[in-house]
A and B are shown apart, each in its own frame.
Chain A
Amino acid sequence: MTAASPVPVHPRLSARVAYRVQRVLRPTAGYRWLSARIEAAGPVRALFTGAERQTKEALFGCRMCGQCTLPVTGYVCPMGCPKELRNGPCGGVSADGSCEVYPDRRCVWVEAYDRAAQAGRAADLRLLHRPIDHRRWGQSSWLNYWQGRDDDLWTGEP
């Protein structure tokens, strides 16, 4: 969707630390208030979004789809999958766990399964993810998350 083609990325942040950070970032009245203020101020919003892009790109190879799945995919970004699959691996994963399109890289879903299972979060991978909204590319997913726009991204009961 964006100019750069998706490439599987091995996260630089351990799943344990990521889950711990996530606990601190859960939407609260404070974050909702703060995110509304950031969104209201154009330049601040741009700065904030830029900071998110830099951080998440460095840690997870984020491509800024604006609708983040990381908390339920073992903190491995599925948008690095060359097919951008958000509901699990395709059938072409090699026997050694490498991606069929980039044989020198590990399938993001093999990685996600390992990390989620190790953290006792394998059940997360059963969630069904809705199709993404392509108008949200480039947006801050943290702001979307705190504003409650991400509440419908996935469901346990389709």
Chain B
Amino acid sequence: MSLRERLASGSFAVTAEISPPRGASTSKITETAAQLKDWVDAVNVTDNQGSNVRLASWAGSLAVQRAGLDPVMQMTCRDRNRIALQSDLLGACALGIRNILVMTGDHPKFGDHPEAKPVFDLDSAQLLWTLRTMRDQHVLLSGRKLDPAPDCFLGAVENPFAPPVPFRAERLGKKVAAGAQFVQTQFVFDVPAFARWMAQVRDLGLHERCAVLAGVGAVRSVKALDYMRNHVPGVDVPDGTYQRLRAVPPEKTAAEGVKLAAEIIQQVSEIPGVSGVHLLVAGNERAVPDILEGAGIRTTRGADGR
């Protein structure tokens, strides 16, 4: 079942994330996709995440698809102008990659080529709008006709916790108006804050037009948590979570991280309007079965617990 079909069916969706390698091979991606295949509905393939050069997201997505899993191709506005972005959508759709996740992208300052030119020709709302117009109106941003038009399922991201917090649901509203059909959020650690954002999302009626997948990650070590807290822009780790993970002995941090992720999944799945979860576990894909079993979402290999 594809992500689009899963969300249309109304049952709880699960997506995960794969970071392509720094090298000219997709074998690791194929291996990870095979591990995740029976557990998740789709897997994101990141686009030079953190502004670090990796194998292209379209190529990684193709490898995921060949491994029998539905890929979500991430597309950032950081590295390509409107000509390249539109061309990449046509290429991806021609290869059968349907799910496109649009995001602004990290600034080059944070990556391995800080001296690079930041492109940002379009922003994420404008890119969604462009892609939707290509699909629905069969035209490019220039107005020129497309034949055939691409068939795609458009996703966006949102960070419910970053200032200006009161504007975050409306910001999603702009993306939905522009074309977003599903949204994956930043890491949810603070469930009450997420619930407040969801209440605004429901007030705006956005959950009826756009499936909301809550971002959930499993913390592997205190070091990783510290890094996330101090070096990953936009990640909010509340003090309570931080203390809880620090309180356990180092060899048990990973298990506690899995337990915490499972609890968060249970809690967010109770919030009205939440369609699923997005597991932010790149590099830690092996934790996926434990997290999902712990949450009671999927109990045996491939079986749907709901």
Contacts and interface: CB of A to CB of B under 8 A. Distances in A.
Contacts of B107: 82-83, 92, 100-101
Contacts, number: 109
Given A97-B163, A107-B163, A109-B164, A91 B186 contact: yes
Interface in B77-110: 77-78, 82, 103-107, 109-110
Contact of B120 (A85, A96, A107): A85
Contacts of A89: 162-164, 167, 171
A12 interface: no
B166 A91 contact: no
Interface residues of B, number: 41
Contacts of B173: 126
B246 interface: no
Interface residues of A, number: 34
Nearest to B125: A87
Contact of B167 (A85, A125, A158): A125
Contacts of A92: 106-107, 159, 162, 233-234
Interface of A: 82-97, 100-101, 107, 109-110, 113-114, 117, 122, 125-126, 128-131, 134, 157-158
20 contacts: A82-B107, A83-B118, A83-B123, A84-B120, A85-B120, A86-B123, A87-B123, A87-B126, A91-B162, A91-B186, A93-B234, A94-B162, A97-B164, A100-B107, A101-B109, A117-B166, A125-B167, A128-B174, A128-B177, A158-B179
Given A89-B164, A94-B163, 4 more contacts: A93-B163, A128-B129, A131-B141, A134-B121
Interface of B: 77-78, 82, 103-107, 109-110, 118, 120-126, 129-130, 141, 157-159, 161-164, 166-167, 170-171, 173-174, 177-179, 186, 233-234, 236
